[in-house]
Structure 1
């Protein structure tokens, strides 16, 4: 069975001059990609990277990130991609928590990073790949936890290989496929759906820079991809484009949606306007990206997230862990070779999340009569803003560091484009005076932009349930009214 880390060698041997990967600045064929991976691996070894190490990469979407990932794997090292939009404090947590031996960035940074140019120029030699066990760690993807501190999801090479095979089969990918990557490469979706899977299928990938609705279809017309993967917020932005914009979408066979449920009405509007079928799926980073998919060949059922991918078992359980097979709603659980190795350094969290091989998603769902999964609600308080997961506790922790704050509660308020945005309700200390603007400015100093509350309500008291806990359900109802 092909090891994903061997892809550069295999592709170069089969078709050295065939297209492989490109971005806004450069294009590499299979042989050039292999040569770049080998020389980058040699450079990483020159800087002390070897098997078992972790390399952190802080880069925007560009093909160098993919090259570094394969180069690290060539040495037996793992990669943790860091969101370049994080504050230094947030990035430092990920770097330190992952135990990264090297940090690679594309420009000057305050975190003691190794400049990308220095890596590229450190060695002109080529590095041969080492033999990799399928259980070797490949990626550490950070996802926010209910405690407010991001957790490192450990994915090994067996996870990655299984997920890619499932997606190639589920999406019917082949050597003619060409993905246009618009999602960030610090997400497993971007890595697996838009890079690794098309490369495994014999196709190719184009890495787009920062997404812009106004220029997106120009990229489609230029690159002529067969598919792209996006989140509902992106589809909403595209549907909202001026009516006179009628792009050539004839190269697109499908569009993929994940990260958050997409309203059936939005799917219909996008398909009717642009003539491209939307294939909606569902999954978690802990499950290496995807667990269900509306089959591209049909029937596709908007309002559902489709059928379990081949090789996975998806079930619904009650609170006691008993399977519910009658269409009742319960917690969605997943089992298969795609389920993560665990949370880095958090054995208790891992044990609570993966029980008897079942990944407990924290989402409530049910199966319809045809076996399609319908997501009903989320057990956790997570806010999904434009496909980005935000946990209120992290924001509340920052608000509590303000000297005037007594209590804080953050909930997701409905937003027509982004799905949800964070809104904070704050009770000041007796006698203290603080404004909403001051609290937002305080958050800006510690949180990345997407986590900063769009609105802060300063209030005398917060609603509580009968046992005295803050009643976030009532806060949400206020926000929705």
Structure 2
């Protein structure tokens, strides 16, 4: 990163942190966060922030030092993260959806001076990991004591050079669809860019605007859902996890006009047969976090008349790089239904040949690269196969690193999955490569049937793939499951699906 860009990034980070702090202070006694159907004022959220800061200060943790948060979508955790970012502190997100031993290992490997975690997560292994590393510990809870010291820490055991290397921002988790989530550093300046993109360039909300719905897992880039509300000065409804009844209640009660979704949520809404009148306030639904099949889009938009404005991004880009807008959807929606839209402001994209790195012509397939101004001038290469048409619309065709090599024949899992989804009794499917002693890899699939429909048989699904695709695409086995194994972000976990395979 050049000195000029570093200075610009530092300035942007400070401006974003100051905006968050100012807007949080402006709530005062007005409602700020609804959690478990109870509203908490800005003053109550601010009290959490003050008490957490005091607890860390009491054990000598300095404002610029890196801390970890064993993160849950709960009110105290929202306050902790918001407070840390306004303090320009580097924050390491630690996945709470793992065993106590795994949380302890994360703490040991993350070069922290302190850990903030829910009272229920202060298990014996976690306390032991903090004490062994000299890491201070603070427990937070929705009930009193809301903030309490757990371990005082021992600064003589801390590697201070390691904990002070990070810039302000978040070390967040990837979605973990192919294995354990990986941690990616996202500077605060880049988080600010993503929030501004999410809010369509708006910088403030009207007093009577509906609240933001916040339900993406905080440990991922979904944290920007949390940041968008105070950035605009809006209220938020915080859900610990997504459920159709809670989501619909919030939309219906507060007349929400837009809120982010992902493919599994779209399927869940359809499966639940939510009455269209319950969603009548929605102007559109921005979405992402996975490919949206044209058939799923068509089914949802036909039933509800609500445009789905899909986007494409990655944790490494701090969010979306391409997206649909309402205007683009109105003009091009039918013609380019399989696209993820055009690049966002401040983003350049190109498609390159995987071997030579040379940019390919419009419409040709290759690896997608993106340059995000907020992250610097570097072109970042993804592992996603894509095309960019003459109108600048990007279409994603699957992951190059996910291709299954069946005895020299390359198979994109998405190709097989898309065929399985054409079966009227299939709600969702996941296709993975599994080891084979003769061919190297072979495709295997797990299928989740629609509720209320007769479950499809393995034989008819295999015949369906055989009818549509060359023989080497046909899975060696297909299992029918009640629910696909998913991570906290509701994405299918390919490693867990592969574990379902039983050689015959």
Quote the residue 2:50 is aligned against: 38
Shift of 1:275: 3.3
> For 1:460-471, what aligned pairs fall within 5 Å after superposition?
none
Quote the residue 1:220 is aligned against: 251
The one of 300, 318, 321 aligned to 2:357: 321
Quote the residue 2:388 is aligned against: 367
Q: d(CA) in 1 for partners of 2:402 and 2:314? A: 16
The question of whether the paired residues in 2 share the 8 Å contact of 1:258 and 1:280 is answered with yes
The question of whether the paired residues in 2 share the 8 Å contact of 1:170 and 1:295 is answered with no
Quote the residue 1:330 is aligned against: 366
3-state SS in 2 of match to 1:107: helix
Q: d(CA) in 2 for partners of 1:52 and 1:412? A: 48
> For 1:223-234, what aligned pairs fall within 5 Å after superposition?
223-234=254-265
Verify: 1:459 aligned to 2:472, yes or no: no
Deviations 1:418-458 (A, max 9, x none): 9xxxxxxxxxxxxxxxxxxxxxxxx9xxxx99553376444
Verify: 1:251 aligned to 2:251, yes or no: no
Q: d(CA) in 1 for partners of 2:15 and 2:447? A: 42
Q: d(CA) in 1 for partners of 2:112 and 2:237? A: 28
Verify: 1:159 aligned to 2:194, yes or no: no
Q: TM-score, normalised by structure 2?
A: 0.67
Q: d(CA) in 1 for partners of 2:70 and 2:262? A: 22
Q: Higher helix proportion, which one?
A: 2
**Residues 140 and 455 of structure 1: is their aligned pair in 2 closer, same or farther, counting only changes over 3 Å?**
closer
Shift of 1:330: 1.1
**Residues 326 and 311 of structure 1: is their aligned pair in 2 closer, same or farther, counting only changes over 3 Å?**
same
Q: d(CA) in 2 for partners of 1:358 and 1:100? A: 31
**Residues 7 and 40 of structure 1: is their aligned pair in 2 closer, same or farther, counting only changes over 3 Å?**
farther
The question of whether the paired residues in 1 share the 8 Å contact of 2:367 and 2:385 is answered with yes
The one of 91, 103, 111 aligned to 2:103: 91
Quote the residue 1:435 is aligned against: none
3-state SS in 2 of match to 1:44: helix
**Residues 414 and 378 of structure 1: is their aligned pair in 2 closer, same or farther, counting only changes over 3 Å?**
farther
Structure 1: which 5+ residue stretches go unaligned? 124-132, 341-355, 397-404, 419-442, 461-481
Quote the residue 1:439 is aligned against: none
Verify: 1:184 aligned to 2:217, yes or no: yes
The question of whether the paired residues in 2 share the 8 Å contact of 1:105 and 1:115 is answered with yes
Deviations 1:336-356 (A, max 9, x none): 23449xxxxxxxxxxxxxxx7
Quote the residue 1:235 is aligned against: 266
Quote the residue 2:294 is aligned against: 264
> For 1:298-447, what aligned pairs fall within 5 Å after superposition?
298-299=328-329, 301=333, 302-319=337-354, 320-339=356-375, 357-381=378-402, 413=445, 415=447
Q: d(CA) in 1 for partners of 2:431 and 2:314? A: 15
**Residues 8 and 150 of structure 1: is their aligned pair in 2 closer, same or farther, counting only changes over 3 Å?**
closer
Shift of 1:255: 1.4
Q: Name which of structure 1's ranges 83-92 and 63-72 shifts more when overlaid on structure 2.
A: 83-92
Q: d(CA) in 2 for partners of 1:89 and 1:410? A: 34
Q: d(CA) in 2 for partners of 1:144 and 1:217? A: 25
The question of whether the paired residues in 2 share the 8 Å contact of 1:254 and 1:278 is answered with yes
Deviations 1:298-325 (A, max 9, x none): 3363311111111111211112222224
**Residues 50 and 252 of structure 1: is their aligned pair in 2 closer, same or farther, counting only changes over 3 Å?**
farther
Structure 2: which 5+ residue stretches go unaligned? 1-11, 128-137, 150-163, 404-412, 418-429, 451-484, 486-490
Shift of 1:17: 4.4
Q: d(CA) in 1 for partners of 2:103 and 2:443? A: 24
The one of 8, 11, 32 aligned to 2:23: 11
Q: d(CA) in 2 for partners of 1:202 and 1:75? A: 18
The one of 147, 163, 172 aligned to 1:121: 147
Q: TM-score, normalised by structure 1?
A: 0.70
Q: Name which of structure 1's ranges 149-158 and 13-22 shifts more when overlaid on structure 2.
A: 13-22
The question of whether the paired residues in 2 share the 8 Å contact of 1:166 and 1:311 is answered with no
The one of 201, 207, 210 aligned to 2:238: 207
Quote the residue 1:105 is aligned against: 118
Q: d(CA) in 1 for partners of 2:110 and 2:446? A: 34
The question of whether the paired residues in 2 share the 8 Å contact of 1:288 and 1:338 is answered with no
Number of equivalenced pairs: 392
The question of whether the paired residues in 1 share the 8 Å contact of 2:321 and 2:372 is answered with no
The question of whether the paired residues in 1 share the 8 Å contact of 2:202 and 2:232 is answered with no
Pairwise CA RMSD of aligned residues?
3.9
The question of whether the paired residues in 2 share the 8 Å contact of 1:43 and 1:120 is answered with no
**Residues 362 and 90 of structure 1: is their aligned pair in 2 closer, same or farther, counting only changes over 3 Å?**
farther
